[in-house]
Amino acid sequence: SLFRLKDLEVPKLGESDVHVKMLAAPINPADVNMIQGTYAILPPLPAVGGNEGVGEVLEVGSRVTALQPGDWVIPADAGLGTWRTRGVFPEEMLLKVPRDIPVLCAATLSVNPCTAFRMLADFETLAPGDSIIQNAANSGVGQAVIQIARASGVRTINVVRDRPDLPQLMERLMALGADHVVTEEMLRKPEMKEIFKSIPKPRLALNCVGGKNTTEMLRHLQPKGTMVTYGGMAKQPVMVPVSAFIFRDVRLRGFWMTQWRKDHAQDRESVAAMMDSLCQLIQKGQLTAPACTQVPLQDYKAALEATMKPFVSSKQILLL
């Protein structure tokens, strides 16, 4: 195994540093890819795993102005190394979040909900009544997309893989606010025509899978619609019929949250506006944490294994 639990000295607090007691940190597939060395950013080793989580400020250096003891913070960027009980970090690596949101919402805020928020905001101007289509709709991002879209009156068509517990999954996604849940097989069936009697064809498609399913999803896009790819779980390329390009002028784009954060590192306002919007949705009960399994840190091996199993709809969260 590439992992072991280690006791480290907590470094001295510099004048711009913040001493944080970690409360909870999820295990995301990208965290594991990073460790396997198959991700686009690789930390120098030895490294602490984990890109997401929430902690409480214990102590701040003399020049720290935006944070004080008792504040809750989440990482401002990937690569923080959140799978630890305590850490000392420079102030600019942390973002303050309200303490009155549930700890699991805060722990899972900086990756999936931010990704969902940006993809809904940055590619097409969506108005209430418009629709979008997405695959892997039961993923962390998928669940956030459903809820954020719902809060702004945008309808969602949600594609999931066929599975033994399909009726329960459909019910869960409908409870989050999904308008339609379909399987990959249904994408090419006449039933899709029924759906488009009551809602317009989507202007935006969100793809985290690749392969045949993605091509089928693309067929339902409006002319000049955009498909944004943010993952490739099927490990197959995205195939586009030439006719979709020529006669419907569809646009294909990519999105990586880490890159967005890099591009907006100096743009505190965009980041703050996004965090405010998401925290308000959480406070209003319109955005909830994904289904979570809470695991004490010493059971990290079981949690890592569970993260890599197929059809797992529950996110493993390390309690620190």
Catalytic residue annotation: 39
C-alpha to C-alpha distance for 121 and 245, rounded to whole angstroms? 23
Are 76 and 93 contacting, i.e. CB atoms less than 8 angstroms apart? yes
What is the distance between the terminal CA atoms of the chain, rounded to a whole angstrom?
Answer: 21
**What angle do the packed helices 268-283 and 112-122 form, to 10 degrees?**
110
C-alpha to C-alpha distance for 56 and 259, rounded to whole angstroms? 27
Between strands 17-26 and 54-60, the pairing is antiparallel
